[in-house]
Amino acid sequence: MLSKNNKIKAVDFFCGGGGMSFGMQSAGIEVLAGIDYEPECKETYEANIKGAKFIEANVFNLKENDLEKELNLIKNDDNLLLIGCSPCQFWSIINTDRKKSEKSKSLLIEFERFVKYFNPGYVVVENVPGVLRKKKESGLEDFIIWLEENKYKVHFKVHNTNDFNVPQNRKRFTLIANRVTNKELSPIFADGIKPTVRTIIGEHNGFPKLEPGNKDPHNKNTVAGLQSICLERMPYITKDGGNRFGFAHIERLQLKCFIGRDNSFKDTFGRLWWDKPSSTITTKFYAVSNGRFTHPEENRAISLGEGAALQSFPKNYKFYGSSISSIARLIGNAVPPEYAKRIGLAIINNQEDAI
């Protein structure tokens, strides 16, 4: 039974640095815990997701009844939300090492084990579009069948997060399952103009001009360094959307791997456009050679703080890690908090309608 005092409580599996948890908290959902097997997530998660417990555990080894006892969970709880945003390298179109990511292909099936045990009021899954394209192999097809057979109304679709107030073109598969009402729930669209790079970063938004290799003890203004040859290439890349074609005609600056291959990897060394959403912020966004991650006008890659802002993290979100790459991994792997918030609001609105 539902009452006005009942608040949605969430457990965030594969929580990483807390993007989903933070968005859910912003929507008004109580996050009980985040679960992740990577110890490097702990400090960032606990610094930002107040009141939630970080559980360091490998989901393959985690037992349903152990989690039940640790968090005082109740089966068949209409107010319980289980979230599963599993690492998704195996199903990603940009994956380059299938063997290395082999384990990630079964994580959705492991998450399903907990859903079947607890039978929560709500279930959320967020992942790469590849899990839908390969829904049989990923286990998604059987999971959806089980949810529908057990009276859940299931929404599953690939959304672009730019439609939900995230300043980034980022296509993500999203599933929201609801057995509290008979409504199909989907993330709440943003009203008004879609945010762009100019909306978020730049000096007018409090992000100072920086040089390559800048270090910041708080990580926000940390920028990866550049080799001398890359420093030479930077001025040739046209401001506001240019790419490697700007220096392709200069023999000593041209990348040998692209000679005769002008149609390959056109975004390499690409600058962001001011008045468009950013490209998808990946775990490698700190390096100019890994995609369209060069600042729109400054001769450097975007900083850690700029990448986080384009993921819709607030400026005061604290990131901790042992290196630029480890922090960028937390940022790039995260669910954009603004998108998570809009999933959470859809659930809260549904819960209020059910009372």
Residue 299 DSSP SS3: coil
Spatial separation of the C-alpha atoms in residues 219 and 74, rounded to whole Å: 40
CATH code 3.40.50.150 for 9-191+336-354: yes
Separation CA 31–CA 21 (nearest Å): 6
Q: Write down the pLDDT at residue 302.
A: 98
User: Taking Cα atoms as reference points, which of 171, 173, 143 lies closest to residue 156?
Assistant: 173
The letter for the amino acid at 41 is C
Structure-token pair, residue 348: 């809260």
Q: Residue 106 above 90 pLDDT? A: no
List C-alpha distances in Å: 273 to 238, 240, 243, 294, 300.
10, 5, 11, 10, 14
Residues 6 or more apart whose CB falls under 8 angstroms from that of 161 comprise: 168, 169, 170, 171, 172, 312, 336, 338, 339
Q: Give the Cα-Cα-Cα angle 179, 164, 289 (nearest 5 degrees).
A: 120
| CB-based contact 204:191 (threshold 8 Å) | no
What are the pLDDT digits (tens) for 247-277?
888 888 877 766 666 666 678 899 999 999 9
Give the residue-averaged pLDDT of 93-118: 70
pLDDT at residue 352, rounded to an integer:
87
Q: Please check the confidence at residue 86 and state whether its pLDDT lies above 90.
A: no
Round to whole Å and give the CA distance between 58 and 14.
9
Tell me the pLDDT of the chain averaged across its residues: 91
Domain-wise residue ranges, the chain:
9-191+336-354
Query: How confident is the model at residue 91, as a pLDDT?
Result: 37
Alpha-carbon span 215 to 212, nearest angstrom: 9
Q: What is the pLDDT of residues 15-37, one digit of tens each?
A: 999 999 999 999 999 999 999 99
Name which of 26-40, 41-55, 99-113 the model is least confident about: 99-113
Q: Do residues 323 and 155 make contact, with C-beta atoms less than 8 angstroms apart? A: no
Q: Report which of residues 354 and 116 the model is more confident about.
A: 116
